[in-house]
Amino acid sequence: MNTRTCDHRTCVLDTRDVSHHFYIIIRGKIKVYVFDIKSDRQLTLTLLTSNDVFSVMSLFGGLKRKVYYETLDKTELLSIPLPEMKIWLMKNHNFSLSLMGYMAFKIQNLENSVTDIVMEDIPTRLAKLLYQNMNRDTGVVYHINDLSHDEIGALIGTTRSVVNRHINNFRERGILEVGRSYMKITSVPDLKNEFDDL
């Protein structure tokens, strides 16, 4: 078991390494994504932050996945070799149960994301993403507030220019306040109207 620190956007984790280790994020942010060379497009499957784990599927043996990992902030990881992690899980049943609950939660989020991309229009997807990452007390958007419009587009299956257009539309309608690395929902009811009517 050891710790590893990766600078912002400088540590694209090797998928071969990921398949032999279990990782816990101590601090930072990691993007998990798929990339299509032909179309030169990517889709972000999830953003992982402090206390998230990844390479869980490797615990179940030899599952090859074509996913990539990239740090979006300076990130510190705890890296545990799989054989060591498997022994630890067998000895700590409470953690094993917690890990299953965590996996179920992440799978449900991925299901919801895929359903949204296939079934809903872009303003709806963007509104949901903003709402899911909004502090309910202050309206301030976190986790995604410092992402580029390219990165936000990759989270909801669209392009930078489309995200830019809809963010401007929300801003002009008084739903959203935008600044450098800052977003705040100024009208939660209007934002929710974008997806509650469905």
- Whether 36 shows a pLDDT value over 50: the answer reads yes
Average confidence (pLDDT) over 121-150: 95
CATH tag, 120-196: 1.10.10.10
pLDDT value at residue 169: 97
Average confidence (pLDDT) over 36-46: 90
22-35 residue pLDDT tens: 999 999 999 999 98
Measured over all CA atoms, what is the biggest interatomic distance in the chain, rounded to whole angstroms? 56
pLDDT value at residue 198: 47
Location of each CATH 2.60.120.10 domain in the chain: 1-82
pLDDT value at residue 114: 92
Bridge partners, 76 (sequence order): 5, 27
Look at the domain 1-82 and name its fold: Jelly Rolls (2.60.120)
CA distance 179 to 175: 14
The whole-chain average pLDDT of the chain stands at 90
Report residue 10's pLDDT band, with 50, 70 and 90 as the boundaries: confident
- Whether 39 shows a pLDDT value over 90: the answer reads no
78-120 residue pLDDT tens: 999 999 999 999 999 998 999 999 999 999 999 999 999 999 9
- Whether 49 shows a pLDDT value over 70: the answer reads yes
Location of each CATH 1.10.10.10 domain in the chain: 120-196
pLDDT value at residue 66: 80
